[in-house]
Amino acid sequence: MKLHRLHIIKAESCGGLLDGFIADLHPPDDIGRNFKPLCLIGPNGAGKSQVLQVLAEIFQLVWNACSSPEERVVSNSELQFRLDYSLLPEGGEEREFVRLKRVRISNKKPILTIERRLASSDDWIKCDESDSETVKLLPQKIIAYSSGGNETLSLPFLVSRSGYAKDVTEAAFKRRNEDRAVPDTRLMLIDYGTHIEVLAANLLLGTEEIRAALLSAAPISNLHSFRCIIQLAHSSYPKINIAGSKRKGIQITEELESYLDFFTRCATCHDYDEKTETYTFDFFVDEQVRTAFREFWAKTLDLYSSFHKFSMLNDLAIPKATRERFKRESRTRRFASRLAEPQDEEKVFRFERVCFSPIGEGEPVDYVSLSDGEHQLAQILGTMAMTSFPNVLFLLDEPESHFNPKWRVEFISRLLDLPTENGIRRDASLVAQQDCLLTTHAPFVPSDMPRENVLIFRKTEGKIEASRPSIETFGSAFDSILNDCFGIRPPISAVARDQIEALMQSDDPEAIRLGMKKLGNSVEKAFLADRAENLPSQND
Question: pLDDT for 363-396, tens place per residue?
Answer: 888 888 888 888 888 889 999 989 888 899 999 9
pLDDT category, 155, cuts 50, 70, 90? confident
Q: What is the pLDDT of residues 295-339, one digit of tens each?
A: 999 999 999 999 988 888 887 777 666 666 666 666 654 445 555
> Which of 314-328, 419-433, 505-519 reaches the highest mean pLDDT?
505-519
For residue 241, what pLDDT is reported? 61
Residue 395 has a CB neighbour count (10 Å cut-off) of: 25
Q: How many CA atoms lie within 13 A of 153 on its CB side?
A: 29
Q: How far apart are the first and last CA of the chain?
A: 72
Average pLDDT, stretch 233-238?
69
Same domain? For 354 and 501 the reply is no
pLDDT category, 511, cuts 50, 70, 90? confident
Average pLDDT, stretch 508-529?
84
Instruction: Look at residues 368, 386, 408 and tell me which one is the last residue of a structural domain.
Output: 368
**Is residue 324, in this structure, part of any structural domain at all?**
yes
pLDDT category, 432, cuts 50, 70, 90? low
Going across the sheet that includes 463-467, the strands are: 187-190, 141-146, 392-397, 435-440, 38-41, 454-460, 463-467
Average pLDDT, stretch 10-33?
82
Cross-strand bridge partners of residue 465 = 458
Over 90: is that where the pLDDT of 46 sits? Answer: no
Nearest residue to 100 (alpha-carbon basis) of 82, 117, 87: 82
Average pLDDT, stretch 231-259?
75
Instruction: Look at residues 309, 337, 368 and tell me which one is the last residue of a structural domain.
Output: 368
Residue-number span of the structural domain to which 204 is assigned: 183-368
Instruction: Look at residues 368, 383, 416 and tell me which one is the last residue of a structural domain.
Output: 368
**Is residue 280, in this structure, part of any structural domain at all?**
yes
Cross-strand bridge partners of residue 79 = none
CA-based R_g, the chain, Å:
26
Q: Do the beta carbons of residue 155 and residue 41 sit within 8 Å?
A: no
Q: What's the total number of domains in the chain?
A: 2
Give 539's DSSP letter. Answer: T
Average pLDDT, stretch 237-245?
61
Over 60: is that where the pLDDT of 128 sits? Answer: yes
pLDDT category, 245, cuts 50, 70, 90? low
Strands 80-87 and 2-10: antiparallel
Average pLDDT, stretch 412-421?
84
pLDDT category, 402, cuts 50, 70, 90? confident
For residue 315, what pLDDT is reported? 77
Over 80: is that where the pLDDT of 405 sits? Answer: yes
pLDDT greater at residue 339 or residue 132? 132
Supply the pTM of this predicted model. Answer: 0.88
* All residues at 6 or more sequence positions from 360 whose CB lies less than 8 Å from its CB, including other chains: none
Average pLDDT, stretch 79-104?
92
**Is residue 151, in this structure, part of any structural domain at all?**
no
Side chain identity at 422, as an amino acid letter? N
Strands 269-273 and 278-284: antiparallel
**CA pair distance 257, 232, nearest whole angstrom:** 11
DSSP state letters, 175-213: TTT---PPPPPSEEEESTTTHHHHHHHHHHHS-HHHHHH
Give 19's DSSP letter. Answer: T
pLDDT category, 90, cuts 50, 70, 90? confident
Same domain? For 197 and 343 the reply is yes
Over 70: is that where the pLDDT of 504 sits? Answer: yes
**CA pair distance 499, 512, nearest whole angstrom:** 10
**Is residue 160, in this structure, part of any structural domain at all?**
no
Average pLDDT, stretch 57-63?
94
Give 236's DSSP letter. Answer: T
Sign of CA dihedral 299, 229, 164, 101: negative
Average pLDDT taken over every residue of the chain:
84
**CA pair distance 209, 255, nearest whole angstrom:** 31
**Is residue 203, in this structure, part of any structural domain at all?**
yes
**Is residue 226, in this structure, part of any structural domain at all?**
yes
Cross-strand bridge partners of residue 436 = 394
**Is residue 387, in this structure, part of any structural domain at all?**
no
Residue 12 has a CB neighbour count (10 Å cut-off) of: 18
**Is residue 26, in this structure, part of any structural domain at all?**
no
Q: What is the pLDDT of residues 167-185, one digit of tens each?
A: 776 665 555 444 456 778 8
For residue 176, what pLDDT is reported? 46
**CA pair distance 351, 263, nearest whole angstrom:** 13
Q: What is the pLDDT of residues 481-502, one digit of tens each?
A: 989 988 887 778 888 888 888 8
For residue 62, what pLDDT is reported? 95
Give 297's DSSP letter. Answer: -
**CA pair distance 354, 387, nearest whole angstrom:** 23
